[in-house]
Structure 1
Amino acid sequence: MAVDPEFVEHVLDLFLGLGPLRTGRMFSGVAVYAEEDAMFAMISSSQTVYMKSDAATLPAFEAAGAEPFTYTRSSGERQVTSLMSLPESAMDDASEALDWARLSMGPARAAAAKKRAEKARKAARKAAKA
């Protein structure tokens, strides 16, 4: 099931205060990026918005009643606590949604930096072999 384009637009409107945003495919949903490559949110095909989280931000999400992204594999259900649901109250409150987005930017920046470093290491190894 694809993500409703109108829902994607609504979510992007909620996060406008972060500056320029872009989207990309992620699983059967849509990834939302700020600052070029910092993926701070994901919109699932079930129209749930998940925010990037880490050990430092997880308690705030849990206190707000957020749930982790969950999917099923042949080995059973898996929970991904690095993606926590946007609290329902923020879905109609751009100010609150923006607060959650700003909280998610720390983990998103860290993940983007790690990904860039890994790409650089791979490129360096490839260049060394050439």
Structure 2
Amino acid sequence: MKLNTIQRKKFRVTGKLKKVSSADRLRLCISRSSKNISAQIIDDVKNVTLVSCSSIEKDIRSMEKTNKTEVSKIVAEKLAKKAQVKKITKIYFDRGIYKYHGRVKAFAETLRKNGMEF
């Protein structure tokens, strides 16, 4: 099976994180499109999604927003609050195929400000 460039990049980044993941640290997987952004916290040991948040959710969609970076920050704040309810503080940040730049960087910095450690 021949993989294209995007698939190789995704397997390279995510594969390294899955190898080092353990029960005490969970993986935060982020995905973005041209208009939306979503993230989920995954337990790789049990293969279960524990917390997820997206810009498609009704309460986030109805908010007054200025640009996509601001939407990323709002989604990150909401995800951090959901994670704190489930007592999740330590995670691995899986950026996937995306560069740590722009909306992804704003998302990560907002998570750090709200108490997540990675």
More strand by share: 1
TM-score (norm: length of structure 1): 0.26
What TM-score results when the alignment is normalised by the length of structure 2? 0.28
Higher helix residue share: 1
User: More relative contact order in 1 or in 2 (CA 8 Å, sep 6+)?
Assistant: 2
Structure (1 or 2) with the larger CA radius of gyration:
1
